[in-house]
Amino acid sequence: MSGVAPTTPPELLGSRQSRLLGRLRPGGVAIATLSTIVVFGVIGYVIVSSPGWPVVQQTFFNAEEFWAAFPKLLPALIKNIQLFLIAEAFILLFALGLAVMRSLPGPAFFPFRLMAVVYIDLFRGVPSILVIFLIGFGVPALRIPGVTNDVFVLGLITLVILWSAYVAEVYRAGIEAIHPSQDAAARSLGLSRAQGLRYVILPQAVRRVIPPLLNDFIGLQKDTALVSFIGVIEVFSRTQIIVGASFNFTAYMSCAVIFLVLTIPMARFVDWLVARDRKRQLATVAR
């Protein structure tokens, strides 16, 4: 490539292997294996040889309870999946609106920027569970005619409110990463500010932030468990019901496994996306 291009020079990119495995040579594999056995062996020994282990094993790691929990938990998982899929759709739209609002230039738009900043600061700064209680219990208590008392809907709205604040900041980072010369080029052709944003800035910005957006999507998936506290019967509240009846905590482990099965593939997918973008960038620079 000649001339001025908005790409990182190759020396800054370097070549990085999987961070988990590092770059293993034959001798390295032996060392990694040995050190893994030693480290995990010591940790395992300390836990298993502790005085309370027999009781803990019985209450948290009971194989029978573990498998028995799944048939009861999985039907409730539908609620979580509904929650995060519907919420994500609204979050992606609403947060984009917030980010654009926060990026509006000039003094005339100051009140809109202010609103966006206050909103984002507020809902990023307050513990999620607090907002869930406020909306889940507060809104029905107002008894406004026509406003729903459905805890599922209220929980959904709360998740949208909370996560939009995070996602808006991800979008904003993407918008600010686009060089002002792109806006200048769009405006110089006679495109309005809105057209420049829509056709030139946002398509580039969104593409850049897909991995962090997916990261927040993982966070949202986990947070669906929080709406159990306002009475939505989803997978975590179902777990608590099981635990309450059996006085055995193993169902929590089953619940954890269910969430991991949801989130780990997404995490690997994000890694794969990042690696692919990296490769493309290197390929462009190398030409």
Partner 1 sequence: MATDRSTPSAPALRVENLHKSFDEVEVLRGIDLTVAEHEVVCLIGASGSGKSTLLRCINLLEPVDSGRIWIEGDEITGRGVNVNKVRRRIGIVFQAYNLFPHMSVISNVTLAPRKVLKMSADQADARAMELLTRFGLAEKRDQYPDRLSGGQQQRAAIVRALAMKPDLLLLDEITSALDPELVAEVLDVIRELATEGMTMIIATHEMGFARDVADRVCFLDQGVILEQGPPSVMLSSPSEPRTQRFLQRIISAGRL
Which residues bind to partner 1, rule: CB under 8 A? 1-7, 181-182, 184-192, 195, 199-200, 203-204, 207, 284
Residue placing its CB nearer to partner 1 in the complex, 129 or 191: 191
For 140, the token pair is 């029905």
Residue placing its CB nearer to partner 1 in the complex, 9 or 190: 190
Alpha-carbon distance of 269 to 252, in angstroms, equals 26
* Closest separation in Å from C-beta 96 to partner 1: 17
Residue placing its CB nearer to partner 1 in the complex, 128 or 182: 182
Alpha-carbon distance of 188 to 15, in angstroms, equals 39
* Closest separation in Å from C-beta 184 to partner 1: 5
Q: What letters, b where the CB count within 10 A reaches 16 and e where it falls short, cover 61-95?
A: ebeebbebbeeebeebbebbeebbeebbebbbebb
Residue placing its CB nearer to partner 1 in the complex, 124 or 179: 179
* Closest separation in Å from C-beta 219 to partner 1: 28
Q: Is 206 exposed, middle or buried (0-12, 13-18, 19+ CB in 10 A)?
A: middle
User: Would you call 6 helix, strand, or coil by DSSP?
Assistant: coil
Q: Find the radius of gyration of the CA atoms of the chain.
A: 24
* Closest separation in Å from C-beta 208 to partner 1: 10
For 150, the token pair is 């459905």
* Closest separation in Å from C-beta 173 to partner 1: 18
Residue placing its CB nearer to partner 1 in the complex, 107 or 125: 107
Residue placing its CB nearer to partner 1 in the complex, 183 or 271: 183
- Residues whose CB is less than 8 angstroms from the CB of residue 122 and which lie 6 or more positions away in sequence, other chains included: 165
Alpha-carbon distance of 104 to 110, in angstroms, equals 8
* Closest separation in Å from C-beta 202 to partner 1: 10
